[in-house]
Amino acid sequence: MKFPLSWLRKYLDTRASADEICDALNAIGIEVESVEDPSAKLAGFRIAKVLTATRHPDADKLQVLAVDTGDGQPLQVVCGAPNARAGLVGVLGLPGATVPANGMVLKKSAIRGVESNGMMCSTRELELGEDHDGIIELPEDAPVGIPFADYRGSDPVIDVSITPNRPDCMGLYGIARDLAAKGVGALIPISDVAIAERFDCPVEIRTDDAEGCPAFYGRVVRGVKNGPSPQWLQDALIAAGQRPISALVDATNYVMLSYGRPAHAYDLAKLTGPVVARRARDGEQVAALNGKTYTLDAEMTVIADAAGVHDIAGIMGGEHSGCEEGTTDVLLEIAYFDPERIARTGRKLNLTSDARSRFERGIDPEFLDMGLAHLTALIQHLCGGEASTAVRAGAAPNTPRTVHFDPTLTERLGGVAVPPAEQQRILESLGFSIVAEQAHFDSAWAVTVPGWRPDIDGAPDIVEEVVRIHGLDAVKSVPLPRAEGVAQPTATPAQKLERRVRRAAAARGLNEAVTWSFLPVAEAEAFADGPLWTLANPISEDMKAMRPSLLPGLLSAAKRNLDRGAKSLRLFELGRRYLRGQNGASDERLTLGVVLAGDKTARGWATGKATSFNAYDAKAEALALLAEAGAPVDKLQVMGEAGPQFHPGQSGTLRLGPKTVLARFGMLHPATAKSFDVDGAVAVAELFLDAIPARKGAASFARTGYAPPALQAVTRDFAFLVPASLPAGDLVRAVQGADKANIVAARLFDDFRGAGVPEGQKSLAIEVTLQPGEKSYGEADLKAIADKVTAAAAKLGATLRG
């Protein structure tokens, strides 16, 4: 919310500077986002008087002006404004000045062959209004020659961030109230306004939706003369980020920004019959002031007459009944709408407005009559006219809320000792009223909450009010209690696992990516093995589905990097995927995703052409990271295809038995890569860390000392002829398990197919490592072990090669 300092001072009697006010706002929880001085943009602009105006020799619409800048030497300026004339006092931009509206730097130039030493400016060019039909006309007594910024004066514009729990500060008066409580100044009371009611209201006003619109007040003002607002009002609205429209509309915006009270003005000539707050009908439509047409349903409240809907209640008015330049009679509407109804309607229609932001937070239900009176008085001041009697349909909820409060709670809960008298002063300055519940005033209070503070719900909220006004900096920093001795570890086994795997992935040259947990539905469905979790109220359609896999997000990240010229990508992400569990419960599973794209090795004189990643690279990453995570990789089996997202014949799964899948890896299917707009071959892997079985005794911290074997290990090589379709890993596992007491390792070191190997077979050579125990192996021992190895391999159809 933005406001000029001069506007704030209409409600706060203070001599504090802008810096002092900003410091106070930050101290009481109203965060200042920025402070701007509009006069800074006017550097280089000076008040000047046109001495003569003659027609340009080569252009009918241009004039050559002689301009007095106060230096005694007139400047020649070419100007195309229709109101440029001798005697006019305006604003001249000198060479070197920057035009605020477009950033153009002025310089001396020739326009149609005539030298021009600057530019006479319009209000739009200086961002002081929307008028661009002519140059600024200042009063004749405006001092010629002085900087225009000095003439206008400095009026800093403060931009503050209002948290959702402070609807009272959505109006300047609420901010002034907080500052006065802080001691920055004195709050100027809202004056009572007496409206002369000249005739009975000619319009029937009622509410047929007591739940959505409990109170609907209004009156008619006839004989008004609409037109542009006076300059002071336009300046205030522009500083607040509003666009001046007309005096009638600007008056409603001024009341809203001043008191946080939205209101609306209807052109009475465009209304037919009674004006009613009611539920919309399913399929009913309204053309709103933003130029868009909205389709309504029966859960929404509208303002309508006999002809149809004119207003999405509490959010935006309709364009058909808006005030125009020729409007002479208006119906003023000021109402109280249910905050939850306004919020639901705004979300359904995806429609935001200043009114909605206030109504859905909760406005003061007691400011109906006073708000209507102030709006009426302002319109009569700006546009004239006479007012009718006020019509009050329904009544706003005004049951006072009382909180039982013990002043000693401030020290116990807030950590700062504030005398009861000071607490009373703070609360009363914020609008609370206090009654002692017992004989001693410092023991128990009944605190009545003002209507403009719907956020106050209990005694802790009262403590917060006292502490923030007293000073959060007065709360001492106190360390938390700590038990004697060595602190116990706080990381859980799952956190330790994540840390270990993340470091291992980085050590292997992978770069960590952090992507959204939300995906477009189409991308999520591409990797879904079941029904998706979708959000009923997503931030956007691109974030509607919870990710069933980490690979879509990594592929999108890979695309962004490849599009920006990255040659080789090695990405990983550790996070959770979201599945639908039993009975619709959420099932979150810890997962690690890996994407390898681009060039594996760059082209070079030693390496030749660039090479791409393949499925074995993805498999190697999966095995290495599973080993770091504690999976028994020596027992894993490569089985089946990884899924329809992967290239047939170039993918697989790593399993413990046929059912427990620990990872899937392989090359991405070309159709999948195309759907993500990723060019080239892409190798991916996905590790399901939640499926890794826990080690037996893993909870024990006891460790035995390392004792190296007393005897040296022995290696033996075996070459087998096996069917060409047999995976080498199956043979390695069979050999290693042939004699678990003696065989400690087995690895494949040769895969040969060619001369000497029968058709349909291949030769696999395996190195077997044997570890003797108490004595060295004899020939008989080695032969017995070899027989076991040969027998285990024979079960897979392998024969020892001669």
- The DSSP secondary structure of 688-753, one letter per residue, reads EGGGSPPPTTTT----PPP---SS--EEEEEEEEEETTS-HHHHHHHHHTS-TTTEEEEEEEEEE-
Strand partners, 287: 293
Alpha-carbon span 38 to 48, nearest angstrom: 20
- 599: Cβ contacts below 8 Å, ≥ 6 apart: 567, 568, 610, 611, 612
**H or E stretch including 568?**
strand 568-580
For the chain, the residue count is: 802
Contact assessment for residue 610 and residue 602, using Cβ atoms and an 8 Å cutoff: yes
Question: In this structure, what token pair is assigned to residue 98?
Answer: 């920057």
Question: In this structure, what token pair is assigned to residue 37?
Answer: 């001085």
Contact assessment for residue 719 and residue 768, using Cβ atoms and an 8 Å cutoff: no
Give the HSE-up count for residue 111: Cα atoms under 13 Å, Cβ half-sphere.
20
Contact assessment for residue 580 and residue 609, using Cβ atoms and an 8 Å cutoff: no
Q: In terms of Cα–Cα distance, which of 625, 589, 596, 584 is closest to 517?
A: 589
Question: In this structure, what token pair is assigned to residue 334?
Answer: 């000021």
Alpha-carbon span 337 to 314, nearest angstrom: 7
Question: In this structure, what token pair is assigned to residue 732?
Answer: 């390695």
Contact assessment for residue 798 and residue 721, using Cβ atoms and an 8 Å cutoff: yes
- 628 among annotated binding-site residues: no
Total Cβ atoms within 10 A of residue 30: 22
Placement of tokens 């030298």 in the chain? 115
Contact assessment for residue 91 and residue 120, using Cβ atoms and an 8 Å cutoff: yes
Alpha-carbon span 478 to 702, nearest angstrom: 38
Contact assessment for residue 753 and residue 762, using Cβ atoms and an 8 Å cutoff: yes
* Helix extents (H) in 535-632: 551-563, 615-628
- 209 among annotated binding-site residues: no
Determine the straight-line distance between the first and last CA of the chain, rounded to whole angstroms.
88
CB under 8 Å, gap of 24 or more: what pairs does 437-443 form?
437/404, 442/407, 442/408, 443/406, 443/407
Question: In this structure, what token pair is assigned to residue 94?
Answer: 């000198």
SS3 289: coil
Torsion angles phi and psi, residue 136, rounded to 5: -60, 135
Contact assessment for residue 513 and residue 557, using Cβ atoms and an 8 Å cutoff: yes
Alpha-carbon span 304 to 310, nearest angstrom: 5
Q: How open is the CA angle 565-566-571, to the nearest 5 degrees?
A: 150
Alpha-carbon span 337 to 215, nearest angstrom: 7
CB-count burial class (<10 Å; 0-12, 13-18, 19+) for 478: exposed
Torsion angles phi and psi, residue 216, rounded to 5: -140, 105
Q: In terms of Cα–Cα distance, which of 658, 680, 655 is closest to 668?
A: 680
- 465 among annotated binding-site residues: yes
Alpha-carbon span 18 to 155, nearest angstrom: 9
Alpha-carbon span 130 to 242, nearest angstrom: 12
Alpha-carbon span 574 to 551, nearest angstrom: 11
- Going by the annotation, the residues of the binding site for Mg(2+) are 455, 461, 464-465
- Going by the annotation, the residues of the binding site are 455, 461, 464-465
